[in-house]
Structure 1
């Protein structure tokens, strides 16, 4: 586990880079989605929690209407873009600067609300491409910084939707609302039960350590990129299935058996089966947490993984191997997390078996000559905030 980001060190680095001190430092966390994958853009339910790790932004206002961005993870020239202007997708930037579309998009979406130019220095302790939502953390930290620098107040649920819009319009990823909402709304010791249609949410107690359990995040080292088209393809399939079923979104399917019988395309049947049953798993998992039955979540996690692997078809060999090895070593359950096709998995294990689970997954990787996985013990943490 890496040391937490130091806001004082980031402020000092900002001063060195921009030759003046920042006005503040803001932090937004990454997230782990406990359960509820690919349900968010289907107007369904999700149950994420925030990580201690995330993205921090040191920032100062500018008067020239320009956003100037530097990153400690991408050393080199600053990236500059006018705050005013239309969409510039990630593909419109030089490859080495594609990451800058995220903060630039947020700046352009917020500009009508009264935010202006700014200088930003970004730091992160989230691995990119690991499925832990480093992109949404960057968006949300930027959004908080820009709003506070300009004295603009936007309620957090609305700010999450604006950050989501920035990703749609300026990065080209048709993401759901979950990642931005989790980064802005989560609380320590809780998961966030979010209705992605209404935006309503509630905090559900989630403290696996109190139940003698550990939730391990397994970075499978298989990197993914949601701009590659697979994610958009799955979303399009879900929208096509909803249209054929005559419902606004797959969340509205009440008779699953009838819906499956009416769809002729076997691919669409599989997509519908996953989304509908995954929504039920989120509601069931929320009930288990409210009842204090954390250990019983394991079966839900594994059922979710099998559905994502077989019905939604977005898992990958390293994730499947991690879950299988963990179960053989005594884990209560596990699943892939994130958009799919690479990234991370989570494993719920008794705390006294966590070492065995790590060893078993590492041995399974070594047997296949894969790069060793990385592990993170996930602690439900607070959402985005000012840290300096």
Structure 2
């Protein structure tokens, strides 16, 4: 469910509890079905997270969470928060470069039961016993990047709200967390936790913050644990709506509905290889490589390169198309890796100055960078996102085949140019295509985690059977996890508050 603690928790498992639907009866701040959301200062009441009544389909699960809460704290929760996991259909590793993405929320989620307390403490339990209880004073919140703990994600969300609203007297909270998003699987369990924490902190302190601003706050505050993400996970967590994917753009943040084709189903397949994004430097190395590629091209074009942080900013500055950017990459960047000393020479800085202008704390040890391949992936993937959204909107003949081809191209680019796949994911996506998927690609950061496949509805049963036999059945470790590793999904709803 989350990147595990040190000590014996490194093999902690997520308790997978299938749930049918996240919907409920709206009783306050209804989530209006609109075409899109935009970041501005004129938020309407309907732009805020809805408050829902617990539905019958959720009752058993919420009752179990309530039992844990009552046993520990001697009272029932005052409210619950929910934030969904997500699957990114297409647009990998480009949100932090400033480019749009196309995710949808899934039904698996993080739920937090909460009440305020008079002790001035945050007391946090997990229904999974592999995660130990945690407590701290609200005035003494410390997020230690050097030691990754599961509760750090809550502290990120808490601190983000407190700092954004300059709360000097934040209230204490009693909390119980329950999650159904498989951990370290590329389905955004950690970001869902951060978003849920931000929502709980907002409600406990009597605040009202729009969905867009919550997404922006939670994007920034997740960086407290060192992840240089771009905002996709947090944006879909708050802006998601049932039955539609979202085309999410940034700067300013805005999200528009994407109607996925009729007659297809999206299937999640977990490689069962876990990559702890916040505990490794793989992810941030790619962020830095993209930044350096943008800066070196900017320097070659006589631009103020120190002001360029993203490849998307570079494109805007140059005023050219994505196709033209691909040509520029070929002309301005060599295909061989760049040594750090070479980057410093090109930019005219010392290694200490490069640290300030371009690197992150956990990439200081990197001595060479693959700039050409990383930039090629970003610009081509950004173009695929636009094509995917356009095809969904126009629905031409053969649309599903075109979309499947884009997904396959995306995986090949992630594998070959961005090098964020792994042997198991490559094997799994190939098996999915051979088993009848129109398209299959890794989803999430990569280096493990899940693939998403688009399958014709009438072929789903056969597809699931073939993938199970080909990837899970003969491996005891995979087989025991198949319930949480092989499942269909549909676009789910976004984060919400619930009252008992």
Aligned residue pairs, count: 380
Q: What is the match of residue 110 of structure 1?
A: 161
Contact kept, 8 Å, 1:89 with 1:172, in 2: the verdict is: no
SS of 2:228's equivalent? coil
Q: In the alignment, does 2:296 pair up with 1:244?
A: yes
Q: What is the match of residue 195 of structure 1?
A: 249
Q: In the alignment, does 2:403 pair up with 1:297?
A: yes
Q: In the alignment, does 2:204 pair up with 1:134?
A: no
User: How much has 1:124 moved relative to structure 2?
Assistant: 0.5
Q: What is the match of residue 70 of structure 1?
A: 125
Q: In the alignment, does 2:417 pair up with 1:314?
A: no
Q: In the alignment, does 2:325 pair up with 1:258?
A: no
Q: What is the match of residue 374 of structure 2?
A: 271
Q: 1:42 & 1:36 partners in 2: Cα distance?
A: 11
Q: Out of 84-93 and 50-59, give the one that drifted further.
A: 84-93
TM-score between both structures, scaled by the size of structure 1: 0.92
Q: What is the match of residue 182 of structure 1?
A: 236
User: How much has 1:167 moved relative to structure 2?
Assistant: 1.4
- Given the alignment, which residue of 207, 211, 236 partners 1:156? 211
Q: 1:163 & 1:183 partners in 2: Cα distance?
A: 10
Q: 2:296 & 2:141 partners in 1: Cα distance?
A: 34
Instruction: Write out aligned runs for 1:198-213 (5 A).
Output: 198-206=252-260, 208=261, 211-213=262-264
- Given the alignment, which residue of 430, 449, 457 partners 1:324? 430
SS of 1:54's equivalent? strand
Contact kept, 8 Å, 2:259 with 2:392, in 1: the verdict is: yes
Structure 1 pair 74–59 and aligned structure 2 pair: CA distance change class (3 A): same
Q: 1:368 & 1:260 partners in 2: Cα distance?
A: 45
- Given the alignment, which residue of 151, 167, 173 partners 1:100? 151
User: How much has 1:87 moved relative to structure 2?
Assistant: 4.9
Q: 1:142 & 1:51 partners in 2: Cα distance?
A: 19
Q: What is the match of residue 225 of structure 1?
A: 276
Q: What is the match of residue 18 of structure 1?
A: 73
Structure 1 pair 366–51 and aligned structure 2 pair: CA distance change class (3 A): closer
User: How much has 1:259 moved relative to structure 2?
Assistant: 2.1
- Given the alignment, which residue of 158, 161, 173 partners 2:227? 173
Contact kept, 8 Å, 1:84 with 1:111, in 2: the verdict is: no
Contact kept, 8 Å, 2:65 with 2:127, in 1: the verdict is: no
User: How much has 1:166 moved relative to structure 2?
Assistant: 2.1
User: How much has 1:3 moved relative to structure 2?
Assistant: 2.8
Q: Which runs of 5+ in 1 are unaligned?
A: none
**Cα-Cα RMSD:** 2.0
Contact kept, 8 Å, 2:160 with 2:198, in 1: the verdict is: no
Q: What is the match of residue 385 of structure 1?
A: 496
Structure 1 pair 367–128 and aligned structure 2 pair: CA distance change class (3 A): closer
Q: 2:109 & 2:328 partners in 1: Cα distance?
A: 43
Q: Which runs of 5+ in 2 are unaligned?
A: 1-15, 20-57, 299-307, 337-369
Structure 1 pair 18–75 and aligned structure 2 pair: CA distance change class (3 A): farther
Q: 1:173 & 1:274 partners in 2: Cα distance?
A: 20
Deviations 1:329-371 (CA, angstroms, capped at 9, x unpaired): 2211110000010100011111222233223333433698573
Q: 1:353 & 1:37 partners in 2: Cα distance?
A: 27
SS of 2:150's equivalent? helix
Contact kept, 8 Å, 2:85 with 2:106, in 1: the verdict is: yes
Q: 2:131 & 2:239 partners in 1: Cα distance?
A: 33
Q: What is the match of residue 6 of structure 2?
A: none
Q: Out of 1-10 and 243-252, give the one that drifted further.
A: 1-10
Q: 2:192 & 2:331 partners in 1: Cα distance?
A: 41
User: How much has 1:77 moved relative to structure 2?
Assistant: 4.5
Q: 1:182 & 1:366 partners in 2: Cα distance?
A: 30
Q: In the alignment, does 2:474 pair up with 1:371?
A: no
Q: 1:351 & 1:249 partners in 2: Cα distance?
A: 39
- Given the alignment, which residue of 363, 376, 387 partners 1:284? 387
Q: 1:318 & 1:347 partners in 2: Cα distance?
A: 15
User: How much has 1:10 moved relative to structure 2?
Assistant: 1.3
Q: What is the match of residue 202 of structure 2?
A: 147
Q: What is the match of residue 266 of structure 2?
A: 215
Q: Out of 110-119 and 275-284, give the one that drifted further.
A: 110-119
Structure 1 pair 84–289 and aligned structure 2 pair: CA distance change class (3 A): farther
Structure 1 pair 111–351 and aligned structure 2 pair: CA distance change class (3 A): same
